[in-house]
Amino acid sequence: MPPRVAVLISGRGSNMSALIAASRFEQYPATISLVISNRLEAPGVALAQEAGVKSAVIVGRSFPDRLSYDKALDETLRSANISIICLAGFMRILTPWFVGRWLGKIINIHPSILPAYKGLNTHERALQDCVRIHGCSTHFVTPELDAGPIIMQAAVAVAPDDTIETLAARVLEREHAIYPLSLSLVASGAAMLKEGKCVIRGAKPREGSLIAPAF
């Protein structure tokens, strides 16, 4: 049986949908079994329901502190026999206790080429800095925010007339490509967290480079 995966969201859920769509392919090595949102009104919850994936909402204000929230989250995940967690726009900081329990089994997608632009407003900051190349990363989650070992990255060239929205849209398209690929690597055991690094069996360096701008 392929590992059962939970996707944790707070909003739109487009990465969640990309993971669900990928997992529908017969050969995909993981099943998206549960979606958990910390916000009742997250549009992704309705999308999960439409896709026929079980969903749960665990709202932060029902708990006195972060640890009790994370214990309830952990309980929900374990009672659903989840073995891998994908964070996909989950806007809560997880406690070191929770991250420690799921270390090597919890991954995240971030809209920048890490370690650049950790945190929020990544596209806006990239445009302000006039970078020529921007992108997205998937990584194993560790207690430090957006700092865990990187699994996969995709780059996009920044166009001179890009706005936050146009750049975000191109990066998002790449997110939808690398997140399902990254999850398949982790679920199949090809990618793993080892001594603080992500080791990927069979990975070959890609030749050539993305040079931006082009003339």
Q: Cβ 136 to ligand GRF, closest distance in Å?
A: 6
Read off φ and ψ for residue 154, nearest 5 degrees.
-130, 140
Q: Cβ 195 to ligand GRF, closest distance in Å?
A: 26
- Alpha helices in the chain, H assignment, sequence order: 14-23, 43-50, 66-79, 96-101, 122-128, 164-188
> Which residue minimizes CB distance to ligand GRF?
89
Rank residues 172 and 187 by Cβ distance to ligand GRF and give the closer one.
172
Rank residues 42 and 73 by Cβ distance to ligand GRF and give the closer one.
42
What's the CA gap between 165 and 163, in Å, rounded? Answer: 5
Catalytic annotation present for 110: yes
Give the bridge partners for 153, in sequence order: 137
Q: Cβ 189 to ligand GRF, closest distance in Å?
A: 24
Rank residues 109 and 186 by Cβ distance to ligand GRF and give the closer one.
109
Rank residues 45 and 77 by Cβ distance to ligand GRF and give the closer one.
45
β pairing state of 133-140 and 106-110: antiparallel
Among residues 73, 16, 63, the alpha carbon closest in space to that of 43 is found at: 16
Q: Which long-range contacts (CB under 8 A, 24 or more apart) does 111-119 make?
A: 111/136, 111/168, 111/171, 111/172, 111/175, 112/136, 112/137, 113/137, 113/153, 113/155, 114/139, 114/146, 114/147, 114/150, 114/153, 115/146, 115/147, 118/145, 118/146, 118/147, 119/145, 119/146
Q: Assess contact for 182 and 191: CB atoms under 8 A.
A: yes
| Contacts with ligand GRF, residue ranges (CB under 6 A) | 9, 11-16, 44, 88-89, 109-111, 172, 175
Q: Cβ 15 to ligand GRF, closest distance in Å?
A: 3
Q: Cβ 51 to ligand GRF, closest distance in Å?
A: 14
* Catalytic, out of 110, 123, 134, 176: 110
- Tell me the two tokens of residue 210: 């993305």
Find the length of the chain.
Answer: 215
Catalytic residues: 110
